[in-house]
Amino acid sequence: MTTLEARQTMSDAQPTDILKSAMYLDKRGRSYPGLLKRRVRAIGSVWIVGLLGIIASIALIAHGAVNEQEKLLFGFLVLLSAAVWVAATLGMFIALWNAYVSQYALALYSTSEIVEYQEASFSGVALNVVSQTDFRRDLIAGLVAKANYPKSTAEHLAAETISRIAEKARATAAHENG
């Protein structure tokens, strides 16, 4: 299998884990980025309601309150609006932090997946190299010559074989990728 064939096989396969994670469909089939956008919009609208409530209540205290009791009520409204505003700010912070952590995790998963892809691609080229008759003949000739050395062991021969296959596969992959 050449690098191009390996790449073709990968692209024809089912959605990869990283794609599944990136899509992250919930029970209703909604994807996570869309869900996050909807949540941020909802929290943002509550944030605006809180802010408008604070401004309106302060304006009412300054201009609309006729007696002490109404001032008391509008003061209470300021307190509630401020609580809503603070809660919405914290909620927005948590939602965005969650989005950041999710994206970080996705980036890590994608890195590990790229490494797996490269490993699969390289092993495909190595198998292709080993199946070539000329290369096998050269390899055996080289190993026989090495085996005749007085100090050569089985470990030396195995290391030599692996190193030659890896070198040839690297050169072939570099040639195919241009």
Inter-residue contact 114 to 7 (CB < 8 Å): no
Work out how close the CB of 149 gets to other proteins at its nearest, in angstroms, rounded to a whole number.
44
Own/partner long-range contacts of 150-157 (Cβ < 8 Å, ≥24 apart): none
Which residues, at least 6 apart from 166, have a Cβ–Cβ distance to it below 8 Å?
126
CB-wise, 10 or 49, nearer to other proteins? 49
CA–CA distances in Å: residue 83 to residues 47, 89, 157, 174? 10, 10, 75, 62
Three-state DSSP string of 19-68: HHHHHCECCCCCEHHHHHHHHHHHHHHHHHHHHHHHHHHHHHHHHHCCCH
CB-wise, 103 or 163, nearer to other proteins? 103
Contact flag: residue 27 with other proteins (CB under 8 A): no
Return the residue of 70, 116, 138, 167 that touches other proteins, per CB under 8 A. 70
Return the residue of 52, 72, 115, 147 that touches other proteins, per CB under 8 A. 72
Q: Which stretch binds other proteins (CB under 8 A): 43-51, 123-131, 137-145, 146-154?
A: 43-51
Work out how close the CB of 117 gets to other proteins at its nearest, in angstroms, rounded to a whole number.
19
Contact flag: residue 80 with other proteins (CB under 8 A): yes
Closest alpha carbon to 132 in 174, 171, 178, 177: 171
Contact flag: residue 82 with other proteins (CB under 8 A): no
Kindly report the number of other CB atoms within 10 A of residue 24's CB atom: 15
Contact flag: residue 42 with other proteins (CB under 8 A): yes
Tokens read off for 100: 């950041």
Return the residue of 52, 59, 101, 114 that touches other proteins, per CB under 8 A. 101
Applying CB under 8 A, the residues found at the interface with other proteins are 21, 24, 26, 32, 35-36, 38-39, 42-43, 46, 49-50, 69-70, 72-73, 76-77, 80, 83-84, 87-88, 90-91, 94-95, 97-99, 101-103, 105-106, 109
